[in-house]
Each structure stands twice: as structure tokens, then as C-alpha cells.
Amino acid sequence: MKTIILFYSRSRKTALVARTLAEEINADTVEIVDLTERNGPLNYLKASVDAFREQKTLIKPETVDLSNYDLVYIGSPTWGSKPAPAIITLIDQCDFKGKDVILFATMGSSGGQKVIERIREKIEPRGGRMIKSFQVKTGGKKIEELVDDVAKIVQEEDLHIYGI
């Protein structure tokens, strides 16, 4: 069974979580790039408003062919208790029919469960079936701590068994 991790990361923390997870479970990764400028205080504020309104954005790649994968992880940062616009856009452009999906949200302190619930609401009408989810608190943590947190989640949630 082939596994892929799709993720978006503005601050690079979600990227660190996704890549660490990929090493732990032997998965492919595809980073979704938001072509809208999201760096800097003003752009970050606009990004939060876009997330709240679920505004679409231009992304690269525009879609991901999931036909060779049985298991799909989707990871998003938490922006105002909402998924990043790049993830919302990606979900709307992918075919999840018959795919098992594991969702994860990264967050500074809270709101991750709402992100997971919203992504679930988006993938299920597209044929995906959420089989598991988890959250990773990233606020104030060093790289080593996040890597350790992901390894611990893989063990506690038995994530190795899903890719078999």
C-alpha cells in the first residue's frame, strides 16, 4: 500500500511535521505551495481572513494525482481555527474516491480539532474516508521537540499499521 502526505506550510513547522512523519512511516510527500504572498504581518492578517472565509488561492501543483495511493495524509496549519486556503483549494481539486485519509493539524496553541473537522467535511463528499486524525502543538517548540513529538504520535497512534 502506497502512502502520500499532502501538506502546506507557511512557517515551515507543518513541513517539519510532514517530513518527519514521512520518514517514520515511509511515505511520499507533496508540499502544496500557495502562490499568494503570505509572509509579513499584513499578509499574515490577510491570510487569516482568507482562511476564515475559505477563499480559494492559486496553488502549485494545482492538483495531485492520487490514483497510485491507497492512504492519503493531509496536513494543514491552523489559522483562526480554519485550514489554510491552499489546503482548501487542493481538496476541491483532488479526487479522493475510495481513499482512506488521515488528517493532521498543526497549531500554536489551539483550534486544530476544528481544522480537522472542516477538512473532513470537505473530503467526504469527494469520496474520501477519514480513518484517523491527530494534532501537533508547535507553539514555542524547538525542532528537536517537534521531531520527538511526531515520533511519539506515530507510536501512540499506531500509524505504522495504516500503511501496510
Q: Using DSSP, state whether 28 is helix, strand or coil.
A: strand
Predicted structure pTM score: 0.93
pLDDT at 49: 73
3-class SS letters over 37-75: CCCCHHHHHHHHHHHHHCCCCCEECCCCCCCCCCEEEEE
Q: Which residues pair with 105 in a beta bridge?
A: 76, 135
Q: Which amino acid is at 158?
A: D
* pLDDT mean values, one per 10 residues, the chain (164 residues): 94 96 96 88 75 86 95 96 95 95 96 96 96 96 95 93 73
CB neighbour list of residue 15: distance below 8 Å, 6 or more residues apart: 7, 9, 31
How many helices (H) and strands (E) in the chain? 5, 7
pLDDT at 163: 67
Cell of 163: 500503511
pLDDT tens-digit series, residues 79-96 = 989 999 999 999 999 999
Contact 77, 106 (CB under 8 A): yes
pLDDT at 9: 96
What domains lie within the chain, and their CATH numbers?
A: 3-163 (3.40.50.360)
